[in-house]
Amino acid sequence: MQVINITKKQSRKRPLKISQTGLETEMHIIKDNGSLSYKGFDLCNKVKERYPFVNVEKECGKNMLELGCLPNINTYNPALEIIESIQAVINTGRGCKLRVYPFGTYPGRTKTKFTPSPDSKYKIQEKIFGKDKFALATKAVGFHHHYTLPKGVFDHEKKDLRLLMDSKLKRSLMNCYNFEIAIDPILTLLTQSSPFFEGQVLAKDSRLLVYRGGKKLNYPGMYNDHQQFGGLPPYKQTETDLIRSIKRRQARWEKLIRQADPNADPKTLYPCKLDISWNPVKINKLGTLEMRGMSMNYMSINLGLSALIKFCLKKIQREFIEVIPADKGINEPFKIKKGIMFIPPHTYVREELQKASAYQGFKDQALYEYTKKWYRFAKSLTPEFYYPILKKIEEMIDKRRSVSDEMLTFARRNKLLDNNGRLSKKGARIIALEFSERFEHDLVKTKRIVKQIMTVHTGNLVR
- Report the CATH number at residue 457: 3.30.590.20
The percent of residues in the chain predicted with pLDDT above 70, rounded, is 95
pLDDT at residue 166 greater than cutoff 80: no
pLDDT at residue 11 greater than cutoff 70: no
* Residue 61, domain extent: 19-120+130-239+272-462
Residue 119's pLDDT band (cuts 50, 70, 90): low
What average pLDDT is seen over the chain? Answer: 94
Q: What is the pLDDT of residue 15?
A: 41
Residue 405 inside a domain? The answer is yes
Q: What is the pLDDT of residue 13?
A: 42
Q: What is the pLDDT of residue 461?
A: 62
Q: What is the pLDDT of residue 6?
A: 28
Residue 153 inside a domain? The answer is yes
Residue 8's pLDDT band (cuts 50, 70, 90): very low
Residue 201's pLDDT band (cuts 50, 70, 90): very high
Number of domains in the chain: 1
pLDDT at residue 1 greater than cutoff 80: no
pLDDT at residue 10 greater than cutoff 70: no
Q: What is the pLDDT of residue 3?
A: 29
Residue 244 inside a domain? The answer is no
Residue 178 inside a domain? The answer is yes
pLDDT at residue 387 greater than cutoff 50: yes
pLDDT tens digit sequence for 300-325: 999 999 999 999 999 999 999 999 99
Residue 50 inside a domain? The answer is yes
Residue 265 inside a domain? The answer is no
Mean pLDDT within 79-85: 98
Q: What is the pLDDT of residue 117?
A: 74
Residue 423's pLDDT band (cuts 50, 70, 90): very high
pLDDT at residue 9 greater than cutoff 60: no
Residue 226 inside a domain? The answer is yes
User: Per mean pLDDT, which range of 48-52, 168-172, 176-180, 441-445 is the poorest?
Assistant: 168-172
Highest mean pLDDT among 7-11, 111-115, 280-284: 280-284
pLDDT at residue 22 greater than cutoff 80: yes
Global pTM value: 0.94
- Determine contact, residues 397/331, Cβ cutoff 8 Å: no
Residue 260 inside a domain? The answer is no
